[in-house]
Structures are given as structure tokens and as C-alpha cells.
Amino acid sequence: MNLLLVTADQWRGDSLGAAGHPCVRTPHLDRLAREGVCFTRHFGQATPCGPARASLLTGLYAFNHRSVTNGTPLDARHGHLARALRALGRAPALFGHTDTSPDPRRTAPADPRLRSYEGTAPEWDVVQPLPEDGGPWLAWLEEKGYGRLDLADLYGGELGAPAPFAAEHGETAFLAERFLAWLDRREAGWCAHLSFIKPHPPLVAPAPFHAAVHPDDVPAPVGLTRAELADLHPYLAVLAAQPRAAGWWNKPAADDPDGVRRARAVYYGLIEQLDAELGRIVAALEARGELDDTLVVVTADHGEMLGDHGLWGKAGCFPQAFHVPLVVRGPGVTPGRRVDAVTEHVDLLPTLVEAAGGAVPLQADGRSLAPWLGGETPLDWRRAAFVEHDFRDVETTTFERALGLGSDHCQLAALFADDLAYVHFNGLPPLAFDLALDPEMTRDVAAERARAPEVLEAAQAMLTRRMDAAERRLTASKLTAAGVIGRFE
């Protein structure tokens, strides 16, 4: 069996046709969902990119792997997907990026990898790197006759205008092309991680995808205004006060409704372009006779606020930043199943390792999705999503100074259940939202006496989750007079 893990960067879980989105058309992903399993309540574990991908690749919650911001080193002792696949005799190939910051204790002081957060997780065969600066793609464009350009040249146009390159020459197409060229030389039994950077900003799309969705057709942002957000909580007040990204990232001001509509439309167009490239990949697998022998997993690292609550990007405590798509198709997968139970990124490493023939590592905080994929419904499955966001910045200390907190206190964890969302802050008051009455999370009920039992229950559930996921690589073993018994890693 072949393994193909596809991730997109900053792709909201509601933004695909199979999720019932009113204007995004994703026919190729929808086909995979019809022929496989669509997980409707799948959550990344952390934001931003580095922590999110660390959880996906290690199977660990952020409070265990502790690579909590872009640039925070990932402890070299942690196992990860590529290492587990290699132990099973696979040679995992990588196309794109993982945003993994190397452990400086295992790295020479002059190593250039210590000067960027855009490192690559170890033990992947990096076939085609594609960092955020787009270097390999820009070189490819120059070969295609576009001349020597930089990202500002390509992405500096007016919001909603087409990019100055053909769709078949965009970043998404470039990475798909490199993967397909590699695939053409492979024999059965391959495994690969294809990591697209879109629909991550800049919000610029090539024709015809720049106009695939009309701004008048996009759903309006939900939630609070920035002013209302600032009144809700001290952390959110500081977050709302942060300047939006300047220049060609094309994130409009919250008080510019026309700009918000146009930016959302371009975002959806980038998703449609991504879907088109997925279609090319699926067609190639079919032509090779390998589609039914390939476990295809499509997801994203984290979501995007997209103007909801007046916010852009992935910071904060709202589910839009963490809810992502997950579609799985392949051998042994029940076709056409829709799973509404809560699943998480920590489940992907156990799932992929088990599919490759290995045992789920003791390190893993999640559980294999194999029962769901095989048509079963586990009775003891989790009932809430657990996510984290660390807002420290040891370089600028922005939030530390604004909130009077030490860096280790600049962190939040949230539990999203069916009827209540609970957000716990280290050093600041908690937040709680009645999702039945207030699904957009606009009114804090944490301090209401009548809601105290529910809030306490949510806080206890969060503590239980943390205790369940405590370090366990040696705890299942014991030294006895007869020697070591139990299992350990």
C-alpha cells in the first residue's frame, strides 16, 4: 500500500464543498470524500504553523512536545512520523515544508538552520523543499521565461486582481508538478508528504481562480467587532490591537467590508486552485492503477479566522483557527462515510503508522482512526476537541509587556464540546461560551453563577485530558526481580 499525506496551510474546516460551503467548489476533494471518509469535526492541535505541524507529525499535544511557537525548537528526543515509517522499511519523501525548528543542542552553533523557523523535520527524503520565500518556485518561474522576480513582484497587485502568472505556473501547481514527476519514477509501496503552502496569504490567485467566487456571494464574517472583542477579555484586547499585516499580504482592515468580501473570495479561489491540483494527482494515481492501493489523507495544519471576530490569521481562542478538513480514502476505508465525532491531529500519526503495518507508539497522545475508517463507531471516543495557543514572544515580548505576564504564562488552552467552549488562560481569567445559545462565541458565561457547574465540569475535563496525555514512554514498564516487564520506548 502507498501512503500519501497531503496538507494545506491555513485551510478552514468549513471551506470545502463536502462540508456544505455555500460558494466554494471542491469537486475533486468531494469525490475523495464520497469514496472515503469525511471527518467533519477535525481539529489541529495548536497554532501557528510550527506547533500545528509538530503535533501532526509527532502525535503529541503541544503541552508535551513544547514546540509552542514558530521558531521554538522541537526536542530531538520526540519520535515522529518519518522516523516511524523508516523503522517499518519505508522511505518517506517530502514535498514542501514542515516548519520544524531543530534542537540547538544537537546542532552546531554555526548551522544556518538555527537562523530560521522554516526547518524541515528530520528523516524525510526532501525531494522538493518550498520555504515561504518561494525560492525554488521563483527559480522555476525564471526558467519558464518570467524573469528574475521576487514575491513582492508576484503578489503586490491590487486585492482581487489576477496574479501575474498562469495558474499552471503557481506555487500550488509547481509543487504538484514536482510530486508527479517523482511519482512517475516510483514503484508501488511509496510514501510521501505533500505540503502545500496555499491558501496561506498572500491572498492573490491566478486567473481564473482569482474570480472563481464573486465577492457578493461570500458569507459575511461572524462574531464580534474588534471593539467588542477588546471588551471581552484582556488577551483579546491586546490581540485586536495588533496591526494587521502590511503590504502585499492583502489582509483588509476589519472596518472595510468591501475589502473583507474580496479577500474572502480570493481565499476561496485559492482553495479551488488547490482542489484542481488534487484532481491532477488523483488522475495520475488512477492512470497508474494505484488509486485504490493508496491511502490518501488530506488535511491542513490549522485554520484561518478570515475576518470572523474582526481577526485574520490563526491567533486566538476561536474554533475557526483550529478546525480543519480531514478526508481519508484508500484500502479498507468505508466509502461515503461522514464522521461527526471529534478527531484531532494527534490521531494521524497512530493512523498512518498502523496503516503502514506498525504498532501505535506509546508516545502518541491520539488514537488510530482505523475503527472509523473501517465502519465502526468506538463507544469510548472523545467528546471534545483540545487545542492550544501560546502567545509568548521571547523576541518582542509584546503580549508579556501588555498583559504584565511572564512568557511561561502567555498561553491558553481551549476545550470545544457540543454545548460549551471553555478557554483557560495561564494567569488571566477564563472564558466560557454556551454553544447552544451562542454558537459564534460572543458572550462570556464563565462568571455567571448559574453556569458554574458546567464551567467546572469543562475545566475538570481539560485537566483530565492533560493527565491522560502525560508522558508515558516508560510508565507502562517496571523493573522487577525477573527483569523489565511491560512495554517501553
**In terms of domains, do 406 and 257 share one?**
no
487 in any annotated domain? no
Read off the amino acid at residue 263: A
**In terms of domains, do 57 and 174 share one?**
yes
Q: Reduced to 3 states, what is the DSSP secondary structure of residue 195?
A: strand
Residue 223, Ramachandran bin (φ over 0: left; ψ between -120 and 50: alpha; else beta): left
248 in any annotated domain? yes
In the annotation, is 191 catalytic? no
| Burial 295-326, CB ≥16 within 10 A → b, else e | bbbbbbbbbbbbbbbbbbbbbbbbbbbbbbbb
**In terms of domains, do 309 and 210 share one?**
yes
Confidence at residue 106, expressed as pLDDT on a 0 to 100 scale: 85
Strand partners, 43: 323, 344
Choose the final residue of a domain: 345, 364, 383.
383
483 in any annotated domain? no
Q: What is the CATH number of the domain that holds 393?
A: 3.30.1120
**In terms of domains, do 370 and 453 share one?**
no
Rounded Cα–Cα distance for residues 62 and 109 (Å) = 26
Confidence at residue 258, expressed as pLDDT on a 0 to 100 scale: 93
Confidence at residue 116, expressed as pLDDT on a 0 to 100 scale: 82
- Whole-Å CA distances, 203 to 23, 161, 340: 17, 10, 30
Mean pLDDT by 10 residues, the chain (489 residues): 98 96 97 98 97 98 96 94 97 96 86 84 95 94 95 91 96 98 96 97 96 96 93 96 71 84 97 98 98 98 96 95 98 97 98 97 96 96 98 93 96 97 96 97 96 96 94 89 90
| Burial 348-385, CB ≥16 within 10 A → b, else e | bbbbbbebbebebbbbbbbbbbbebbeeeeeeeebebb
104 in any annotated domain? yes
Rounded Cα–Cα distance for residues 137 and 168 (Å) = 12
Non-local (6+) Cβ contacts of 298 within 8 A are 6, 7, 8, 29, 32, 278, 325, 326, 327, 328
**In terms of domains, do 378 and 392 share one?**
no
Question: 467 burial class (0-12, 13-18, 19+ CB within 10 angstroms)?
Answer: exposed
**In terms of domains, do 47 and 109 share one?**
yes
482 in any annotated domain? no
Rounded Cα–Cα distance for residues 141 and 71 (Å) = 29
Confidence at residue 103, expressed as pLDDT on a 0 to 100 scale: 87
**In terms of domains, do 423 and 281 share one?**
no
**In terms of domains, do 342 and 432 share one?**
no
Confidence at residue 248, expressed as pLDDT on a 0 to 100 scale: 62
Residue 468, Ramachandran bin (φ over 0: left; ψ between -120 and 50: alpha; else beta): alpha
Confidence at residue 462, expressed as pLDDT on a 0 to 100 scale: 96
Q: What is the CATH number of the domain that holds 362?
A: 3.40.720.10
What is the CB neighbour count within 10 angstroms for residue 108? 9
User: Catalytic pick from 49, 191, 317, 410?
Assistant: 49
Choose the final residue of a domain: 351, 383, 415.
383
**In terms of domains, do 405 and 280 share one?**
no
412 in any annotated domain? yes
Rounded Cα–Cα distance for residues 381 and 331 (Å) = 23
**In terms of domains, do 372 and 456 share one?**
no
Choose the final residue of a domain: 383, 416, 440.
383
Strand positions, DSSP E, 345-395: 385-390
Confidence at residue 488, expressed as pLDDT on a 0 to 100 scale: 86
Rounded Cα–Cα distance for residues 17 and 24 (Å) = 6
**In terms of domains, do 35 and 184 share one?**
yes
Is 317 within 8 Å of 431 (Cβ atoms)? yes
Confidence at residue 16, expressed as pLDDT on a 0 to 100 scale: 96
User: Count of domains in the chain?
Assistant: 2
Confidence at residue 89, expressed as pLDDT on a 0 to 100 scale: 96
Non-local (6+) Cβ contacts of 461 within 8 A are 384, 415, 417, 422
Rounded Cα–Cα distance for residues 263 and 255 (Å) = 13
348 in any annotated domain? yes
**In terms of domains, do 417 and 456 share one?**
yes
489 in any annotated domain? no
Q: Reduced to 3 states, what is the DSSP secondary structure of residue 388?
A: strand
Domain that holds residue 429: 388-468
The string of DSSP codes covering 220-268 is PP-S--HHHHHHH-HHHHHHHHSPPPPGGG----TT-HHHHHHHHHHHH
Phi, psi of 295 (to 5 degrees): -85, 110
- For the record, the C-alpha cell of 442 comes out as 460572543
